[in-house]
Structure 1
Amino acid sequence: MTLKTSHPLPGFYKVAHYIRLSDETRIWRSPRGDPSVLQLMVGTWKLLEPEHPKLVISFSGDEERFSLEGAKKKTFMAGLIRTVESTDAWLLTDGSDAGISKVVGQTVNEMQTTTKTDGRLMPYIKCIGVASYGSCRNKDSLVNAEEEIESEQKHFYDVTRTSGRQARIALNGDHTHFLLVDDGFHNSLASADSFRSRLEEAIQKTMPEGLDIPVVMLLLDGSLRAIDRCLKALRRRVPVVVVQGSGRAADLLAEAVHNHDDTRSEDAALKEILSKVPIYIDDLDDHKHMECAKKVLECCKTGNKITVYDIDHDSNMDKAILSALLTGTADPEDELQLAFEWDRADVAESSIFPQIDDNADLSGIMKQALREEKTDFVDLLISWGFDISKFLTMEELRGLYNLVCHLMPSLSLHSPHVKGTGNHSLCGIVFSM
């Protein structure tokens, strides 16, 4: 589907792919090759190309009341950019043109490039919206008039015109793909949230059923719905990064995590959280206050699966995301490999090296660091006692020299990236404003 958005240049269109599907659609990949959401994403949309992502970031927050301005917004966007650049991460939101989804879209717009895949220009950064079809504005414009559709058929989508007083979610034109979840109801968000939770679980499941890509959820601001999303993620062993300082649900959960004590009685802990709920979240009735407090307490019981990041005092959001991925990882050498892929020698030094056995074989990491010219890791390995004189044998030196000679002719080549800007139907949208 193709979406037409406003742009300084007349006739400029932003293009996104979408599919409208039932909330009961199969997500996991089947050994028999049966149709599924993951098969669509990998086989049809080619989302694993040109680079296989090392991470999927799923955002949870308030799509209506969320506001992140000034220094906080700059810190968030800078941290997100560094994370995407390090990991080729997919970004997963509710797809709306408001709140955290809109801020994520703005960040994508700043750094988006295109790459040629199968002779076609495709967006390099994958920003995927999982939205409720029944709650979309102007959803009638997304329906195919003909039963038989062409693969290149486009739909023009106006994000400013409303159709009906209850239709309140406009799709954001900076997203690249949309999964529009249809449960047959109008203005129902629960099915889309549940579908997204199952999608996150499938993405991180090992191959061949899943994609074996780690998922991290970021909580910014939000209300009870955002807390519920985080709890579902934690139950599926998806780590959560709580952005303290972003407001409401995020600040409530951050404080609860800081104050949580396993030795206290559950009643005492629940009572303390309940007293804080109306301070942070002002749009809930008394019954919802108790529901929220219980869910916050259950989140706190997951312990090491929650990482609190203070956006007011720390500019390294990407480090917090990496720390969340490392939490609970059994093998320090696997953690070191992950830190290396992210090029975060600081995290390796402070959090990983103290756990590594003195007899561990680090020659593989040293070889990668030399070949990829990651000097911080070379220095770190040597400072921790790696014997470089024993490692750099004549054979190893010859291999490194040959590698450099092999790469030299390609140094002048241009970058392949071009700067750029119950019912199933697969199409493209053109956004207009």
Structure 2
Amino acid sequence: MAPALCMRVQWSDLVESTAEQRRQEGFLAKILMVFSCRKVVCGCGYPKEQHLEEAIKSPFFLGKEWEPQRHVQEMPTDAFGDISFTGLGQKVGKYVRVSSNTPPRVIYQLMTQCWGLDAPNLLISVTGGAKNFNMKLRLRNIFRRGLVKVAQTTGAWIITGGSHAGVMKQVGESVRDFTISSSYKEGEITTIGIATWGTVYNRHSLIYPMGGFPAEYMMDEESQGNLSCLDCNHSHFILVDDGTHGRYGVEIPFRTKLEKFISEQTKVKGGVAIKIPIVCVVLEGGPGTLNTIYNAISNGTPCVIVEGSGRVADVIAQVANLPIPKITIRLIQKKLSLLFQDSLEQFTESKIVEWTKKIQDIVRSRQLLTIFREGKDGQQDVDVAILQAMLKASRNRDHFGHENWDHQLKLAVAWNRVDIARSEIFTDDHEWKPSDLQPMMAAALIDNKPEFVKLFLEQGVRLKEFGTWDTLVYLYDNMAPTSLFYGKLQKVLLEEKERSAFAKVPRVHLHHVSQVLWELLGDFTQPLYPKPKNTERHQLSIAVPHIKLNVQGVSLRSLYKRSAGRFTFTMDPVRDLLIWATVQNRKELADIIWAQGQDCIAAALACSKMLKELSKEEDDTDSKEDMLTLAEEYEHQAIGKEGLAASFPISEQSGPL
């Protein structure tokens, strides 16, 4: 019996542990496939000696034609964990051996919960030639640079066949080059290889019933024969098993279902919800690649074909702009004879007819088809072509309606590609109202995307109209969980819960924020945001002392206005947004907001003081240094506003205004 593994998650088998190994052991229920034969080699492709004893001896199996449904038994997986490529330093990835009929939701849960991957903002499915092929050096470099750029800037997942050959090797080397040249802060690119378990060379080294942490895997291309080595530059591997040995393509239906499932998931970020978009990128390829493109187009998935990469990609690229009636059987036959010279004999007359029909259907869906041509119309970047393909596909789907433009802007913000927004969305084809942009302005602030904040300000968004009480509450409620201020805010909420005996932690309100600010500023100020009474929000009349801040004897304007013995609180959107950005140490955002204000002296001094206090609790050396640098900058900006010498120190004495 061939020890071919599948995966079936049995929640009753989950074990309790904090260690990653235990978590994976618990998540991965293990399955073994059992089947029998009388011949030296079974119908599954495995030799007799690799079958289990009960499979060989059982009269139930003997003398029967091999059928996967009849002769395969699923058992717990014995191959999962970390994979370390021998001789390649500290590079370690994740791997798992799964059944070909494992539900996509289980795999997605494994990836996001067990492996800890963030849901992608974009899914890039790369397909094409499975064997090594030649591509012009310039085109190869353009492809590699563009692929990693789109993945790195958008937070995408790249999915390939995972082998160290063909287009998969090209993708792996693209990621490798990026990793070598990039800094740690730029992050890793998630590159997922989905391969057939039965075609993986040296797969026995991955078998660890309790998980390999790590499993040492050696690449040996000289000895692999008809099998394939895994590519060392991929970060994750899903090895799909149906119980067969040496049969390629087992993973294709599995991969298609998984990609479709992922593309149907909704990701919420910065208060904006979008379904995860998917795009198919094609290099070179043979008959299998044509089927992949055809199925992708049929399912509404946009495809980017890289012209100049060879074979199928070039056949489609060369006829893509032709009217459908001109894409004839004779023309396709001519293209095949030029581009498939070494394997032309595989194309029978019926096969050419089939290819012609499929290519016609592919070209007919022009809104889903994008051809990347090097240097065409100034087009130099594959990343731009990929993102343009996504926008073109979504634009057509909603018939150019307002809702569609909004969706395209959501995609551009999610990808953090302000260049795409400028060139493809903010055009003469659609007139944007400033109010239409406010939800995305909030998303850009929350996700710390200063270039988009600048763009929205250019497009007419005014901070005085944007920075309402409710907006500010929303921004504080969605602060970066890693920020020190967020932790302090949560502490205030927990304390209120304990005092009030609430069943759950209360939601953030500005008086909670005010309490944290007061703790940081000390005697500098009374609470900045008073607790609202009833429905009072934007303008509140409250009896509180005014702020007392001095700069070298120069009094600063109060944040409160006196009215008949009381003080009327008034929102100051620029000041309030500046404080929100500053307490998260977001310098670029703070600089943009500061530039929109006219008199932010008190806020600048308060921000300087808060940063100094927060820096005392910051463990990260770089963040601490950034805080102190920004604090000093605020001091000089505030003093400069008053026309004082930049060398004057800031007084922390309280005094009358």
TM-score normalised by structure 2 residue count: 0.53
CA positional deviation for 1:233:
1.8
Q: Secondary structure at the match of 2:421?
A: helix
For 1:356, the equivalent position in structure 2 comes to 430
CA positional deviation for 1:131:
0.7
CA positional deviation for 1:96:
0.7
Determine whether 1:184 maps to 2:243. yes
Pick closer, same or farther for the CA change 1:414–1:24 going to 2, 3 Å: farther
How many residue pairs get matched? 383
Q: Secondary structure at the match of 1:190?
A: coil
Pick closer, same or farther for the CA change 1:260–1:203 going to 2, 3 Å: farther
For 2:410, the equivalent position in structure 1 comes to 337
* Cα separation, 2, equivalents of 1:344 and 1:362: 16
* Cα separation, 1, equivalents of 2:225 and 2:216: 21
For 1:2, the equivalent position in structure 2 comes to 83
Pick closer, same or farther for the CA change 1:341–1:300 going to 2, 3 Å: same
* Cα separation, 2, equivalents of 1:259 and 1:196: 32
* Cα separation, 2, equivalents of 1:324 and 1:176: 26
Pick closer, same or farther for the CA change 1:310–1:374 going to 2, 3 Å: farther
CA positional deviation for 1:15:
2.0
* Cα separation, 2, equivalents of 1:229 and 1:170: 23
Contact 1:86 1:341 in 2 (8 A): no
Determine whether 1:399 maps to 2:464. no
CA positional deviation for 1:220:
0.8
For 1:422, the equivalent position in structure 2 comes to none
* Cα separation, 2, equivalents of 1:26 and 1:379: 42
Pick closer, same or farther for the CA change 1:351–1:14 going to 2, 3 Å: closer
Q: Secondary structure at the match of 2:380?
A: coil
* Cα separation, 2, equivalents of 1:176 and 1:300: 34
Tell me which of 335, 342, 348 is aligned to 1:276: 335
Deviations 1:83-138 (A, max 9, x none): 1221121111101111221121122223348999xxxxxx8322111111122212
Deviations 1:325-359 (A, max 9, x none): 11232310121222233343443233323343454
For 2:216, the equivalent position in structure 1 comes to 156
For 1:347, the equivalent position in structure 2 comes to 420
Gaps of 5+ in 2: 1-81, 268-273, 399-403, 468-570, 586-610, 624-657
* Correspondence list, 1:32-431, <5 A: 36-48=106-118, 52-112=119-179, 124-144=188-208, 149-160=209-220, 165-167=225-227, 169-206=228-265, 212-261=275-324, 264=325, 269-282=328-341, 283-284=343-344, 285-287=346-348, 288-313=351-376, 314-329=379-394, 330=398, 331-353=404-426, 354-359=428-433, 361-366=436-441, 372=448, 374-375=450-451, 378-379=454-455, 382=458, 386=460, 388=462, 391=465, 395-408=572-585, 409=611, 413=620
Q: Secondary structure at the match of 1:362?
A: helix
CA positional deviation for 1:302:
2.5
* Cα separation, 2, equivalents of 1:270 and 1:141: 48
CA positional deviation for 1:244:
1.4
Q: Secondary structure at the match of 1:91?
A: strand
Contact 1:345 1:377 in 2 (8 A): no
Contact 2:221 2:229 in 1 (8 A): no
* Cα separation, 1, equivalents of 2:224 and 2:582: 65
Pick closer, same or farther for the CA change 1:399–1:355 going to 2, 3 Å: farther
CA positional deviation for 1:207:
5.1
Structure number with larger C-alpha Rg: 2
CA positional deviation for 1:275:
3.0
Contact 1:369 1:378 in 2 (8 A): no
CA positional deviation for 1:199:
1.2
AA aligned to 1:221 is E
Pick closer, same or farther for the CA change 1:189–1:292 going to 2, 3 Å: farther
CA positional deviation for 1:379:
5.0
Contact 2:302 2:393 in 1 (8 A): no
* Cα separation, 2, equivalents of 1:230 and 1:245: 17
Contact 1:55 1:90 in 2 (8 A): yes
TM-score normalised by structure 1 residue count: 0.78
Mean alpha-carbon deviation: is it higher for 79-88 or for 356-365?
356-365
Q: Secondary structure at the match of 1:219?
A: strand
Mean alpha-carbon deviation: is it higher for 78-87 or for 389-398?
389-398
* Cα separation, 2, equivalents of 1:366 and 1:307: 30
CA positional deviation for 1:76:
1.5
Mean alpha-carbon deviation: is it higher for 367-376 or for 307-316?
367-376
* Cα separation, 2, equivalents of 1:414 and 1:70: 42
AA aligned to 1:138 is N
Q: CA RMSD in A?
A: 3.2
Pick closer, same or farther for the CA change 1:106–1:281 going to 2, 3 Å: same
* Cα separation, 1, equivalents of 2:381 and 2:112: 31
Contact 1:129 1:178 in 2 (8 A): yes
Mean alpha-carbon deviation: is it higher for 276-285 or for 320-329?
276-285
For 1:119, the equivalent position in structure 2 comes to none
CA positional deviation for 1:81:
2.3
For 2:547, the equivalent position in structure 1 comes to none
AA aligned to 2:331 is E
* Cα separation, 2, equivalents of 1:13 and 1:69: 32
Contact 1:3 1:155 in 2 (8 A): yes
